[in-house]
Amino acid sequence: AQSVTQLGSHVSVSEGALVLLRCNYSSSVPPYLFWYVQYPNQGLQLLLKYTSAATLVKGINGFEAEFKKSETSFHLTKPSAHMSDAAEYFCAVTAMNTGFQKLVFGTGTRLLVSP
């Protein structure tokens, strides 16, 4: 079975600062990893995904994530935070041994951006 752990339920940054949201995964087979964002009172939106191609994945809104097998990590970064980045971010995993049928989500990290 797969699982993801998101370190830090809340992360606070200043506008213009680096954003780093941490995600570690557990999977007995090669995983496919995703980052989704949830803005207040909205559904989730895909930011980016890793599907065993390039280990550095670029997504929307200037976000990127790097798959590191040795560290079982898939941390999300953005060089410069904007106020509009304030939202909740979810890391998720799926894998071939479940037929890629279901996504397992982490508990989420709320990003707070201050002026």
Partner 1 sequence: DSGVTQTPKHLITATGQRVTLRCSPRSGDLSVYWYQQSLDQGLQFLIQYYNGEERAKGNILERFSAQQFPDLHSELNLSSLELGDSALYFCASSVHRRGLYEQFFGPGTRLTVL
**Interaction mask 14-53, partner 1, x per CB under 8 A:** ------------------x---x----xxxxxx--x-x--
Nearer to partner 1, 73 or 106 (CB): 106
Q: How far apart are CA 24 and CA 106, in angstroms?
A: 9
Nearer to partner 1, 81 or 90 (CB): 90
AA letter at 92 = A
Establish if 98 lies at the interface with partner 1 (CB under 8 A).
Answer: yes
Q: What are phi and psi of 81, to 5 degrees?
A: -75, 145
Q: How far apart are CA 44 and CA 13, in angstroms?
A: 22
The distance of closest approach from Cβ of residue 69 to partner 1 in the complex, given in angstroms and rounded to an integer, is 18
The pair of structure tokens assigned to 90 is: 């979810």
Whose tokens are 């989704």? That residue is 36
The distance of closest approach from Cβ of residue 72 to partner 1 in the complex, given in angstroms and rounded to an integer, is 19
Residue 21 CA: distances (Å) to CA of 3, 92, 97 = 17, 13, 27
Pick the piece of the chain touching partner 1 (CB under 8 A) from 13-21, 60-68, 75-83, 92-100: 92-100
Interface residue list for partner 1 (CB under 8 A) = 32, 36, 41-46, 49, 51, 90, 94, 98-108
